[in-house]
Chains A and B, each alone.
Chain A
Amino acid sequence: MTENQLVMTPEAEKEQVSQSYWSLVWWRFRKSRTAIIGAIIIIIFYTSFVIVPEFVAPNLLEQRSDFLESRPQKIHIRDTEGSWHLPFVYALEEKIDLELRLRYYEADTSKLYPINFFVKGAPYKLLGLIEWDVHLFGPDPEDPEATVFIMGTDPLGRDYFSRIIYGGRLSLMIGLIGVILTLVFGSVLGAISGYYGGVTDIVVQRGTEFLAAFPGIPLFMALSAAIPIHWSPIAVYFMITVILSFVSWGGLARQVRGLVLSLREREYVLAAISFGAGDRRILFRHLIPGALSHIIVISTLAIPGMILSETALSWLGLGLRPPLTSWGVLLNDAATVRAIRFAPWLLWTVPFIVITVLAYNMLGDGLRDATDPYSGR
Chain B
Amino acid sequence: MLAYVIRRLGYAAIMVGLVSFVSFAIIELPPGDFLTFKLQELQARGDPSALARIEDYRARYELDKPWLQRYTTWATNFVQGDFGESFEFERPVKDLLSQRLTMTVLLAVASLTFTWMIAIPLGVYSAVKQYSLGDQIITSISFLGMGIPGFLLALLILFFTITVLDMQVGGLFSREFEEAPWSIARVVDLLKHLWVPALISAVTGTGGLIRIMRGNLLDTMGQPFIEAARARGLRNRTVIWKHAVRIAINPLIVILGSEALPAIITGNALIAMVLNLPTIGPLYINALQRLDMYLAGTAIVMFTMLLLLGNLLSDILLAWVDPRIRLE
Contact = CB atoms under 8 A, between A and B. Distances in A.
A215 B304 contact: yes
B159 A344 contact: yes
B29 A222 contact: yes
Main secondary structure of the interface of A (DSSP, over half): helix
Interface in A193-222: 209-210, 212-219, 221-222
A312 B27 contact: no
A358 interface: yes
Interface residues of B, number: 44
A341 B163 contact: yes
B211 interface: yes
B162 interface: yes
A361 B162 contact: no
Given A213-B15, A344-B163, A354-B147, A316 B285 contact: yes
B18 A354 contact: no
A329 B144 CA distance: 23
B163 A217 contact: no
B75 interface: no
A218 B23 contact: yes
B213 interface: no
A308 to B, nearest CB: 5
Contacts of B163: 340-341, 344
A212 to B, nearest CB: 8
Contacts of B285: 217, 316
A376 interface: yes
A337 interface: yes
A75 interface: no
Contacts of B300: 215, 218
Interface stretch (B76-84, B183-191, B194-202, B266-274): B266-274
B162 A340 contact: yes
A331 interface: yes
A251 to B, nearest CB: 10
A222 B300 CA distance: 13
A214 B211 CA distance: 27
Interface in B27-60: 27, 29-31
Interface residues of A, number: 41
A358 B19 CA distance: 34
B149 A377 contact: no
A362 B146 CA distance: 11
A291 B130 CA distance: 28
Interface string B290-328: 000000100010011001100000000000000000000
Given A213-B15, A217-B288, A221-B289, A350 B152 contact: yes
A315 interface: yes
Contact of B147 (A217, A304, A340): A304
B6 interface: no
A214 B23 contact: yes
A314 to B, nearest CB: 12
Nearest to B273: A316
Contacts of A362: 143
A335 B300 CA distance: 27
Given A335-B155, A376-B222, A217 B266 contact: yes
Given A222-B26, A350-B152, A354-B148, 20 more contacts: A34-B143, A213-B19, A213-B307, A215-B266, A215-B304, A218-B23, A218-B296, A223-B26, A223-B29, A304-B147, A335-B274, A340-B155, A340-B162, A344-B163, A353-B149, A354-B152, A357-B146, A361-B146, A376-B222, A377-B130
27 contacts: A209-B15, A213-B15, A213-B308, A214-B22, A215-B23, A215-B262, A215-B304, A215-B307, A217-B288, A219-B26, A226-B31, A311-B149, A311-B152, A312-B149, A312-B270, A315-B151, A316-B270, A335-B274, A337-B158, A337-B162, A341-B162, A344-B159, A350-B155, A354-B147, A357-B149, A361-B143, A361-B146
